[in-house]
Chain A
Amino acid sequence: MTDRVDGRLKVTGAATYAADNRLDRLAYGYLVTSTVARGTIVSMDTAAASKAPGVLAVYTPFDPLKLYRYTKEQNDELTPPLQDKNVRYFGQAIGLVVAETFEQARDAASLIQVRYDARPAAASFHDGLASATDPPSGSPISEVLAPGVGSIDDALNASEITVSATYTASMQNHNAMEPHPTVAAWDGDHLTLYTATQGVMLVVARIAEALGIDTSKIHVRNPYVGGGFGNKWGIWAHTPLTAAAARALGRPVKTALTREQTFTVVGHRPASQQTVSLGAARDGTLKAIKNDGVSSKSASNGFYEPVANLCLSMYASPNIRVSRKIVTLDVPVTTIMRAPQEANGSFALESAVDELAVKLGMDPLELRRKNDSPVVPSSGLPWSSKHLDECYRIGAERFGWSRRRPTPGAVTDGDWLVGLGMATATYGASRAQASVKVRLLAGGTAVVSGTGADLGTGQSTVWAILAAESLGIPVGRIRPDLGDSSSPVAANAGGSGSTSTNGPAVQLATEAAKTAMIALAVQDERSPFHGKAADSVRFEDGRLKAGDLSVPFGSLLTSLDVPGVEATATSAKNGDKTHGFRSFGAHFCEVRVNAWTGEPRVSRWLTVLDAGRIVNEKTARNQIIGGVVMGIGHALLEETRLEPATGRIANADLASYLVPVNADIPRIDVHFLDYPDTLLSPLGARGIGEFGIVGAAGAVANAIYNATGKRVRDLPITLEKLLT
């Protein structure tokens, strides 16, 4: 249990977030955004804005900053801002005002008069479902059928028991605590960017392309990130605009999005619909799983959620078919958001399994145990390390699942109907290539550097722990250095891959640094280890040791008058094609629904999971709790309310876009099994960033059913859906 290494800096305000970089002669940018959802900008009257106090420049499609076309999406959009007069969604960046102060820029922006030739916009996911189309790329269907089975529908028809229902979930916005800021400063032809991002190399790639400059001329720094959830993967309009404005004006510029702008400029989780059919034998053995998934997709880009895919990886079934369709809308950009596809996918599948349990008259936990699959259901490959049954068993014991009454409405507490629900949690695991540098310093400390990002996840602490472990020195003597594009290229923060990818690289680099230290010790004439065979010298407890000799590495460096020794190592990507890699766990919860007025409140929660080795239980627990809290919000509160008629987001602020407050969240118990997945890496850690949210909404919906007998298949489950 190690405290966050950057915790003190963050709670005291000493951590320098992107917007905190107050550079000399800094000017301030403010985005102008569109107020129609589709059409052409006819004119923008900028006369008053240009003359407003403090204004340095007003950029519009009529007087743009040159940006080159993007050649590939990074979960964002292909079209650079201000290069054409088309409006593709409400809230699109159509201008940038730069002034001496933020307030002057904002006021001037409000003076700009925009005339549009507006066209009707398609903004209703519901209306578009009837004309959903195949996705722009990739196969629309994945199917596994047992020998001799003609189709998934044949398998369903042949099943003794079937359930079928349609589940929907609304569009969501990430709303990380830190809105998106970019600070850009030029020194000659060299650009330094301080910008909130899940990966500094993503910024380098996009900015090099958009501004037409060499990647070697770009330095991106972002050591601290105030939350991402997928929303800081894409490189959004304000970043290239700010860099280009700073170049044009010859002074540094900072543009920070407002909360309202973060609802439209930076993307959202698409809306989705899933029609799930399950076929089973009377004993509960699954015979067929079918899920027709539909996702909204912005007309501005290609990203959508293949929500049905999770069915390929969850429960044993000889017949599985998932399909993928999209509804293209004139709405802001669709992008990745915590567990894209799995968060919504698990809500539908875990609800459907619960419905099947009801129909079978079977305990839903027993039904899941019965269909637990030792292999990847769609490929037959064995799982690298799966301990789901133990999660179910421990969870049921700790939570008191056996006390659950199967009949809905059987338990009341005063005016409250009390129900228990559970669901399986899961998330895929991977290990990509990563490089990390470790530098041992004369003071006896060490720096671990790589381009990874800590979004508040604890990634820096993980690096410090792994390096400290290998060097045999206290964690406090390691300085993790993340978010700097001049470092070796490590994993961006996304897909729950930071620890599984960067962790092994930190271990390798530390070992390499120790080897380099020993090499110096035996080669340097002033060293007491001089002339010894390298393999006779050990690096233990922060010291070099050989026979009776034992010298701390820092002292040795000092005595040799050498400031430091460093090594960079690269950990290869996972080449194992013979296993499936995925984490599994189980959520258990108690939900209360007011018998009079229908509001649901979560009152108890336990999550038991196996994520491979847990490097730091304290921050890992925190990650799972965060995922569960977001899952409770997903289940009960979060909903981006898009006006079908206008394409405008009606609740673009945190007063009306509801996320849970502390009073909504009970104590959340988290229990890790901690079985290292040594087939994934010698470290054995899988990812935990997204794991916690998957299954959470399903568990809540199932508990609500157990409390009330009402099956709500549309998220969020607000009280009017429980009133009747």
Chain B
Amino acid sequence: MHAFGFAAARTLPEALRLAAPDSAFLAGGTTLVDLMKLDVLTPDRVVDINRLPLRGIRSTRDGLRIGALERMSDVARHPAVHPVIAEALAQSASPQLRTMASIGGNLLQRTRCGYFRDVHTPCNRRQPGSGCPARTGDNRTHAVLGTSDACVATHPSDLAVALVALDASVRLVSHAGERLVRLAAFYRLPGDTPQVENDLRPGELITEVVVPRRPWARHSTYVKVRDRSSYEFALASAAVALDMRGGVIHEARVAAGGVGTVPWRLPAVEAALRGRPPTRASFEEAAASAADGARPLTENAFKVTLLKRTIVRALMSLEGGS
């Protein structure tokens, strides 16, 4: 762990003023401190933002607004929160971590790729141009969608999958002002620049998450498939929401986790569900395209099948398909 300066901000302007190019904001610290201990992150200054008033979970005309410093556990049990979000959170990490980790931090958590986390190995995401051992090395848990020759690391967040399914946005604030960015557009595919993970600009801070108002989206669920029952990342997960009208699917939202380099929205699956009855056949037909474009690696080809089955399982559990 490298030496760093520490400052605690009381207000948003103070936090933005304290931020510098090599600084990091500290909320729950569950990713940042971990990666600092591993020398993966070496900020010169850590700015504690926990005293900022970025709190509150409110249903408004614009939709559900969640302050960036709300803790995962508090959001998970709030009645205004959609089932798909609550379930994604409840199945994340461990109770201890959920009690510490913030919503903003969750969306910015870094990949669990073992090469990214080990500074003795090359990693294009950590050290651009150094190479990617995961493509031929230990890659059972890696991504099959959205990968590039430079990077195949899986995006680890469950929450982000649920939020991407619901068209959520993040509010970003910096000296330059404030902007609202759709979460789906916020995350960047690795391409040739895997070190650029998102649209966050230097010194910019996530202040809240906004989930658009859409009452039918309460008919939603999150299915997470993993090696053990708790405290483990997804091998595949599915966030689904269905707008049922007159016994057919009027509108659908489907996103997948554990399989992509970013939270993976599946518009083709959604389109294939529209106008169909909620049957196993409809679900399986729609899910058939879920892994289109997948590039399996040496140890994770099973994710192609697993992804489709996970989506069907999620749709079946939501709609009890016949």
Query: What residues of chain A have their CB less than 8 Å away from a CB belonging to chain B?
Result: 35, 103, 106-107, 110, 415, 594, 596-599, 601, 636-637, 641, 643, 645-646, 648, 650-651, 655-656, 658, 660-664, 718-720, 723-724
Contacts and interface: CB of A to CB of B under 8 A. Distances in A.
Main secondary structure of the interface of A (DSSP, over half): loop
Main secondary structure of the interface of B (DSSP, over half): loop
A596 B302 contact: no
18 contacts: A103-B1, A107-B1, A596-B310, A596-B316, A597-B225, A597-B236, A597-B306, A599-B227, A643-B137, A645-B136, A656-B114, A658-B228, A661-B228, A661-B231, A663-B229, A664-B229, A720-B302, A723-B305
Interface in B182-233: 225-232
Interface residues of B, number: 33
B228 A637 contact: yes
Given A596-B312, A597-B225, A719-B225, A651 B39 contact: no
B125 interface: no
B138 interface: yes
B225 A599 contact: yes
Residue among A35, A643, A724 with max Cβ neighbours from chain B (10 Å):
A643
Contacts of A651: 114, 138
Nearest to A110: B39
Interface string B104-122: 0000000010100000110
A660 B232 CA distance: 11
Contact of A650 (B114, B225, B235, B236): B114
B246 to A, nearest CB: 27
A641 B299 CA distance: 12
Contacts of B310: 596-597
A602 to B, nearest CB: 10
Interface of B: 1-2, 39, 94, 112, 114, 120-121, 133, 136-138, 140-141, 225-232, 235-236, 302, 305-306, 309-310, 312-313, 316-317
Given A107-B2, A661-B94, 7 more contacts: A415-B313, A596-B313, A596-B316, A597-B306, A599-B225, A661-B229, A663-B230
A232 B236 CA distance: 38
Nearest 5 CB-CB pairs, A to B? A650-B138, A720-B302, A663-B229, A596-B313, A663-B230
A723 B228 contact: no
Nearest to B303: A720
Nearest to A599: B225
Residue among B136, B229, B236 with max Cβ neighbours from chain A (10 Å):
B229
A598 B236 CA distance: 12
Contact of A718 (B94, B227, B230): B227
Contacts of B112: 655-656
B235 A719 contact: yes
A661 B306 CA distance: 23
A723 B136 CA distance: 23
Contacts of A35: 120
A651 B121 CA distance: 13
B306 A601 contact: no
Contacts of B227: 599, 636-637, 658, 718-719
Contact of B138 (A103, A598, A643): A643
Contacts of A641: 138, 140
Nearest to A722: B302
A452 B136 CA distance: 47
Contact of B137 (A110, A650, A656): A650
Nearest to B233: A655
Residue among A650, A663, A723 with max Cβ neighbours from chain B (10 Å):
A650
Given A599-B227, A651-B138, A719 B306 contact: yes
A110 B229 CA distance: 36
A114 B206 CA distance: 41
B138 A720 contact: no
A152 B312 CA distance: 50
A594 B229 CA distance: 12
Contacts of A720: 302, 306
Contacts of B141: 656
Contacts of B302: 719-720, 723
B309 A723 contact: yes
Residue among B1, B94, B136, B138 with max Cβ neighbours from chain A (10 Å):
B138
Nearest to A724: B305
